[in-house]
Structure 1
């Protein structure tokens, strides 16, 4: 206990840590001390080894602590032992080299195909410029998987309805061409005609507000959030969710991983592979619901 108090005093006086942080470090270290004393009452801060620390991590995970929580407590322990080694309170640092659990990356959120079908049903929309613009934006994200910045950066010359492709400028100004289908082609033509009539002038930007200005990222996000709320209960309702929805739909319909990588403009295949986890989760649900012995 004395070693912990000295360490906390060091954090307060020499490192100028906040009272809240010092209190958190104290709780973490006292918890670890209680843990190793329960393992073996003869254990001390000087005799604890890396295996005891790993056992503590397993113990915390078994109790339902997240990887983030375990890593935070391990960080407190590392700081303590660095201090203790420097002050020669211990001869070795058992926390050195101990790897914490990897934080589990959340799977991408996406809409079901049935939800997208409902949202894109013509009956859900009016023939106002506002609705035509919103529906075209949704369909553009869903059928191409482009990023928000790529969409707002589109100029009229980038959209080729004859060839049915769109040229986008992605990260680090890298350009790629994305093909699209008949439905989006039809929607883009309807939108373009209505835009030219409504705005009354030819602008460089492809997507324009009713005032004839290029759409901003904030404006597009607001539209997407409002429209997705009509069919989805997802907490996150952003253009990136539609990008995830595009990638998941492509893989669910047997598109190759390399092809999806190129369409999304990913540098590395490992970035695209996260969507295979998403589709596998879907397969597990199907299996669980369909197999009589699941």
Structure 2
């Protein structure tokens, strides 16, 4: 059955590759969607007997249902990893993804907030100094001040903070660890938060009941708070990560250093921020050059 081979693969991701729960859920969703397509369109064809033609038909099916090319490519990437695994485990003889090419997508530049907009954040906590307000303030500045991902923020432990050295230990994708410097203002905010925190929990960021925060809570908070200072259509924790990287680059940070701070596996993922930086350079040129 398709569910058996999918569970076999998901267990491999969890135990051997130590992927995050979010990553495993993403793979499971893509594979279950493909299995459902095979059930409805190809008389429940087993995943181990799929050919390239069925995968192409699935791509057409996704496109006809208004799925963006970027999302189609991500689903194809899930299938590639899945069938490569089955080939290694001798569950299939040929990889049906070999002749399949990704579909063309538009390059989408990361959205970010301006430095003037981020300067408005300190005013949010001036009128109220209770635990919940400081925590919400800290969430925004941890995301902007360190560039960490949402999942990294949620899993952050108090023991990961080295106040003496002013650094933060972050556990990223595939349990890859990196050390991020903490700006002095953020370190002071963390100390203030810990002083006000009424709960004894190993997790740094907790809700009003002392439990670790969850993704939806953080997403709603960020959207609400940033909505007061920005008109961007999409306001999310990841936008603050983009903002962190863009502001570093605009202020002269080395691209390789930004790559390490973000925890990117390769420089290509970081180079997208050079496009945003070029817009800043054009703006400076227009203002400063006499012939601009």
Superposition TM-score, scaled by structure 2 size: 0.63
Query: What residue number does 2:155 align with?
Result: 153
Mark the runs of 5 or more structure 2 residues left unpaired by the alignment. Answer: 1-53, 70-100
Could you tell me which of 175, 178, 188 is aligned with 1:176?
Answer: 178
Equivalences for residues 1-294 of structure 1 within 5 A = 102-121=104-123, 124-195=126-197, 198-199=198-199, 202-294=200-292
Q: Which has the larger radius of gyration?
A: 1
CA distance in 1, matches of 2:168, 2:102: 45
Please identify runs of 4+ aligned residues in structure 1 that moved more than 4 A: 99-102, 122-125
Note closer, same or farther for the CA distance 1:120–1:290 as it changes in structure 2 (3 Å cut). same
Secondary structure of 1:120's counterpart equals helix
Note closer, same or farther for the CA distance 1:194–1:158 as it changes in structure 2 (3 Å cut). same
Kept in 2, the 8 Å contact 1:144–1:178? The answer is yes
CA distance in 2, matches of 1:101, 1:160: 45
CA distance in 1, matches of 2:220, 2:259: 27
User: Which shows bigger deviation, 183-192 or 151-160?
Assistant: 151-160
Query: What residue number does 1:11 align with?
Result: none
Q: Deviations over 1:54-84 (max 9, x none)?
A: xxxxxxxxxxxxxx7xxxxxxxxxxxxxxxx
Q: Deviations over 1:28-74 (max 9, x none)?
A: xxxxxxxxxxxxxxxxxxxxxxxxxxxxxxxxxxxxxxxx7xxxxxx
Cα-Cα RMSD = 2.6
Mark the runs of 5 or more structure 1 residues left unpaired by the alignment. Answer: 1-14, 25-67, 69-98
CA distance in 2, matches of 1:132, 1:280: 35
Q: How many residues align?
A: 199
Kept in 2, the 8 Å contact 1:125–1:131? The answer is no
Q: Deviations over 1:155-195 (max 9, x none)?
A: 11111222111111111111111111110010000001111
CA distance in 1, matches of 2:259, 2:284: 26
CA distance in 1, matches of 2:134, 2:269: 33
Note closer, same or farther for the CA distance 1:268–1:233 as it changes in structure 2 (3 Å cut). same
1:104 Cα deviation from its structure 2 partner = 2.5
1:285 Cα deviation from its structure 2 partner = 2.8
Q: Deviations over 1:101-151 (max 9, x none)?
A: 953311110011111011223665511222101111111111110000000
Kept in 2, the 8 Å contact 1:203–1:212? The answer is yes
Kept in 1, the 8 Å contact 2:149–2:241? The answer is yes
CA distance in 1, matches of 2:257, 2:102: 35
1:213 Cα deviation from its structure 2 partner = 0.4
CA distance in 2, matches of 1:100, 1:129: 48
CA distance in 1, matches of 2:102, 2:193: 52
